[in-house]
Amino acid sequence: MSEFTSEEKTILVQYGIKKFENEQIIVEKLSTILSQKDIQRNIDTLIGTQRVRRIGPEILENNESHTELPELPENLKPLIDNL
């Protein structure tokens, strides 16, 4: 696994949520590039800061009406595309 900044980890999780929405699938797909602890910590942080909301027992959604999705850095685009 590559080393990412905390901001990059958060962006990866947000874009993972945008792409899949189902929490179990998000964790499964992102676990190839982030630890499960990092994934869960970022999901919890994003929910706590209202950048992501839980809309069902397993469904997550970016709260784009509350805050915009951050710009996806060039170095992370291939990772998101390959999920």
**pLDDT score of 66:** 80
Q: List the domain range (segments joined by +) for residue 17.
A: 1-56
Q: pLDDT truncated to tens, each residue of the chain (83 aa)? A: 568 999 999 999 999 999 999 999 999 999 999 999 999 999 999 999 999 999 988 999 999 888 889 999 999 999 999 99
Q: How far is CA 67 from the centre of its chain?
A: 14
**pLDDT score of 2:** 62
Note whether residue 48 is domain-resident.
yes
**pLDDT score of 67:** 85
Please list the residues that pair with 22 across neighbouring strands.
59
Note whether residue 6 is domain-resident.
yes
Task: Domain count for the chain, please give it.
Answer: 1
**pLDDT score of 73:** 94
**Cα-trace Rg, the chain:** 12
CA 12 to CA 76: how far, in whole Å?
7
3 state DSSP class of 42: helix
- What's the 3-state SS for 61-78? EECCCCCCCCCCCHHHHH
